[in-house]
Chains A and B, each alone.
Chain A
Amino acid sequence: AQKVTQAQTEISVVEKEDVTLDCVYETRDTTYYLFWYKQPPSGELVFLIRRNSFDEQNEISGRYSWNFQKSTSSFNFTITASQVVDSAVYFCALSEANNAGGTSYGKLTFGQGTILTVHP
């Protein structure tokens, strides 16, 4: 069975600080996808990034960057120069992509989420 762990329940930073959100996953599959979603106070879930298990290149998008390391089963998310608008709950998620009789094929398993508060 697949599992996603976000050990940081809450993080509080001051604006302009860098912050890293940790995500560790477990899966028996060799082919899988990893995701990050943002849930602002308004409640909707906003897709941020999708990575497949064969692509370990780090990704940067503006102030956001992601570090994927298969050796440690981690997919960490860093916000550089944080802003108040970054305050939200952030979810890491995993789906298995190998339809070889596995029960988790295509299903998203979410971590418990990290509440990020950025103070002005």
Chain B
Amino acid sequence: NAGVTQTPKFQVLKTGQSMTLQCAQDMNHNSMYWYRQDPGMGLRLIYYSASEGTTDKGEVPNGYNVSRLNKREFSLRLESAAPSQTSVYFCASSAIITDTQYFGPGTRLTVL
């Protein structure tokens, strides 16, 4: 039982490049989330998916897109990376949207 897994663990991009962060959970959870963590700012919600087939914006959605591929997988895409998107990205899942969220190990992204 791996819980929430994220790939890659580290990534360096140049400004303007695109990439997709992958997230998968094996807990049969309905809800999934993407957060970013910046120094001194805690975690901020980018997008979330309350259930398969739905996605909604969080607090800081600009510059990102998401896809809930199926119940297990929720990906985050940066179409044209900017230095302001340098951050640690966490994926999380919960059984339902008000339940406890369990987090993946994070992806450290640097945009030069």
Contacts and interface: CB of A to CB of B under 8 A. Distances in A.
B50 A106 contact: yes
Contacts, number: 49
A10 to B, nearest CB: 11
Interface in B48-62: 48, 50, 58-59
Interface string A1-37: 0001000010000000000000000000000010101
Interface residues of A, number: 21
Interface string B74-94: 000000000000001010100
B98 A106 contact: yes
A63 interface: no
A45 B103 contact: yes
A110 interface: yes
Interface in B37-72: 40-45, 48, 50, 58-59
Interface residues of B, number: 24
Given A105-B97, A106-B50, A43 B88 contact: yes
Nearest to A98: B98
In this complex, the member of B44, B103, B104 whose beta carbon has the largest number of chain A beta carbons within 10 angstroms is B103
Interface string A87-110: 000010001010000000111101
A106 B31 contact: yes
B31 to A, nearest CB: 7
A43 B104 CA distance: 10
A83 B81 CA distance: 41
B105 A106 contact: no
B3 to A, nearest CB: 10
Given A43-B105, A106-B31, A106-B50, 17 more contacts: A35-B100, A44-B104, A45-B43, A45-B92, A45-B103, A47-B101, A47-B103, A105-B98, A106-B97, A106-B98, A107-B45, A107-B58, A107-B59, A108-B43, A110-B44, A112-B41, A113-B42
Interface of B: 31, 33, 40-45, 48, 50, 58-59, 88, 90, 92, 97-98, 100-106
